Amino acid sequence: MVKSSEVKWIERIRKRAGEAGTARQNGLVVGIGDDCAIFRPPGGSEDLLFTTDLLIEGVHFRRETHGAQDVGWKALARGLSDIAAMGGEPRFCLLSLALPEWADARWIDGFYTGFLRLAGRAGAPLAGGDLARAARAMCDVVVCGAAPRGKALRRDGARAGDAIYVSGALGGSALGLSSARGEARRRHLRPEPRLALGRFLRERLRATAAMDLSDGLSLDLWRLGRESKLSARIEPPPIFRGATLDQALHGGEDYELLFTVAPRTRVPTDFEGLALTRIGAMEPGTPGLVKLNGRPLPALGWDHLRAGSGQGAPAPRRRVR
Amino acid sequence: MVKSSEVKWIERIRKRAGEAGTARQNGLVVGIGDDCAIFRPPGGSEDLLFTTDLLIEGVHFRRETHGAQDVGWKALARGLSDIAAMGGEPRFCLLSLALPEWADARWIDGFYTGFLRLAGRAGAPLAGGDLARAARAMCDVVVCGAAPRGKALRRDGARAGDAIYVSGALGGSALGLSSARGEARRRHLRPEPRLALGRFLRERLRATAAMDLSDGLSLDLWRLGRESKLSARIEPPPIFRGATLDQALHGGEDYELLFTVAPRTRVPTDFEGLALTRIGAMEPGTPGLVKLNGRPLPALGWDHLRAGSGQGAPAPRRRVR
């Protein structure tokens, strides 16, 4: 049974938004419940993908430990990772930014430096936004991406027997959260959206489903299985050097890709130097259930409504099912 | 000289975002500086319009005086008003919502009731979003709209000699901010995006420029003039019953439309019962300068970065130029 307040609320909102109707007529292909909403412009050759992500001081970052440029970078990286997960190409982004009194011109400039550096690299120009005052710094970033019509990778496409893969090694960001420096710290502060890999999964491997690992493998694989109406059995994933198995299974913000491919698909051992590792297979069973080495794996990942309360550092992760 | 911190920062961000490049290749027609960003999907028959608006507890609303349904309604009304200003039709919306501890299930349900009621009426289904915890309630709403290719109404299209019009009567929302009830209070709590009027301006009157009155006539007309590189001379606008001239000139959140038409255009006295009133004309001169009865009118409207600090009610409006 799903106890998570976030999962519960998303289901509830999804149901209520669905009842409000009109979505199909308006060109919406996928609404609430995937990495991105999918919109099909009339007559267009591409589907447009939309994702939106909040980044809040005291919840997602701390002013004392996260530099302005890092905050700007990460604010955009989260949305780009969702576009990558669907095999999309970024088109543009929008940024709403609320600034507290402590945010001086230097901080704001630093924030935009980090944000626009990644926007430039990813080919996602800043097209607009909003500015406001608030007691704490926070921003909301929308990224629009595009994929050929009907070809975006979704969470609900996995089939029984499909192999499950992850890119890279997991747990690095969780390790980096408590590190002062080093590669893990860098992974935590400047995650790299896997845009080229996402396109490779869509074009070459014809992945059946994909999503990004933003809230921890245990919770994210639960979501993929739930949308695809399947269970998953896995072995331990590759672990980031120095991280624990627990961090690799439940740590958030790795922004690697989780994907499934048909059983006979030949997957290379790496993509441009980034390891691609088979960790298991999808199978018929309770939708969402994940078995690690044959035993049920609790979905302990990040619950955005339970964890944190704006009072300080992110709270400890809690069980969501 | 522009002294506003908001205006200054928007100019600065616009410049920096422009330097980051790549916008044109990606299909962006208009970026920062209008009511909406305009994106042209390859091969599509329509331009897509995107707008994003923050609504923050203690800055844009107060928990004590704004009901949950009113907050949900207003959160979406702001973006729909931007779509109306461009003569667009809503396609979908995205909602990022951060919830504090005090927001119980009843408040959240009420918020979605107000939000989805307006979404249903406007034909803007909720397609996705994000949820998070925060110390104060706040949300960011993105609305996507559509207009025929190249036909969206913009701020920069006014020509010297064009007549300036406003819809409705101004100052009602400012009056309603301090009222306990009545029509003005309702105007403040449940603004009506002028979507049908916006389409009429685009299709029938072929308005040369348009924008919505969200931050006060004096500031918004300054913006329109600045984008069109013209001055404006006006008489006092129609005043909402019970409001002052000051509220009509500088009060925000009326969400009426401000527009310009070619000098010979015949504009009806009303559109579906909503008055359309000529208040003046555009003329060559200092871009942005507004003269009321021949004397320069200071742009005293709402400055989102100066006014308010997240500590309580909106702060008094300040001079921005």
DSSP letters, A277-312, are EEEEEEESSSTT-EEETTEEPP--S--TTTS--SSS
Q: Is A36 on the interface with B (CB under 8 A)?
A: yes
Q: Read off the pTM.
A: 0.87
Q: CATH 3.90.650.10 residue ranges in chain A?
A: 163-296
Residue A269 has pLDDT above 80, yes or no: yes
pLDDT value for A179? 81
Q: CATH 3.30.1330.10 residue ranges in chain A?
A: 33-148
pLDDT value for B313? 32
Give tens-digit pLDDT for A97-138.
999 999 999 999 999 999 999 999 999 999 998 888 898 999
Q: Between residues A13 and A166, which one has the greater pLDDT?
A: A166
Q: ∠ CA(B313), CA(B318), CA(B319), 5° rounding?
A: 165
Across the interface, of A37, A126, A138, the residue whose CB is closest to B94 is: A37
B72 Cα to chain A: minimum distance (Å)? 13
CATH number of B27-148, picked from 3.40.50.2000, 3.30.1330.10, 3.40.190.10, 3.20.20.80 = 3.30.1330.10
| Total residue count of chain B as it appears in this document | 321
> What's the average model confidence in pLDDT over A70-91?
96
Give tens-digit pLDDT for B266-308.
999 999 999 999 999 999 999 999 999 999 999 886 666 654 4
B147 Cα to chain A: minimum distance (Å)? 12
Average pLDDT, chain B: 88
> Lowest-confidence range among A26-40, A69-83, B24-38?
B24-38
Binary contact (A92, B36; C-beta < 8 A): no
DSSP code string of B166-218: EES-BSHHHHHHT-SSHHHHHHHHS----HHHHHHHHHTS--SEEEE-SS-HH
Across the interface, of A34, A120, A133, the residue whose CB is closest to B20 is: A120
Residue A63 has pLDDT above 80, yes or no: yes
pLDDT value for A88? 97
Quote the CA–CA distance of B291 and A314 in Å, as a whole number.
53
Residue A194 has pLDDT above 90, yes or no: yes
Residues ≥6 apart with Cβ < 8 Å to A25: none
pLDDT value for A35? 79
Fold of A163-296: Phosphoribosyl-aminoimidazole Synthetase; Chain A, domain 2 (3.90.650)
> What's the average model confidence in pLDDT over B170-176?
94
Q: CATH 3.90.650.10 residue ranges in chain B?
A: 155-296
Binary contact (A309, B27; C-beta < 8 A): no
What ipTM was assigned to the predicted interfaces of this complex? 0.84
E runs forming strands in A73-125: 89-99
Average pLDDT, chain A: 88
Q: Name the percent of chain B lying above pLDDT 70.
A: 90
pLDDT value for B303? 66
CATH number of A33-148, picked from 3.30.200.20, 3.40.50.280, 3.20.20.70, 3.30.1330.10 = 3.30.1330.10
Residue B6 has pLDDT above 80, yes or no: no
Q: From chain B, pick out residues whose CB is under 8 angstroms from the CB of A41.
A: 41, 44, 46, 48, 146
According to CATH, the superfamily of the domain at B155-296 is PurM-like C-terminal domain (3.90.650.10)
Q: CATH 3.30.1330.10 residue ranges in chain B?
A: 27-148
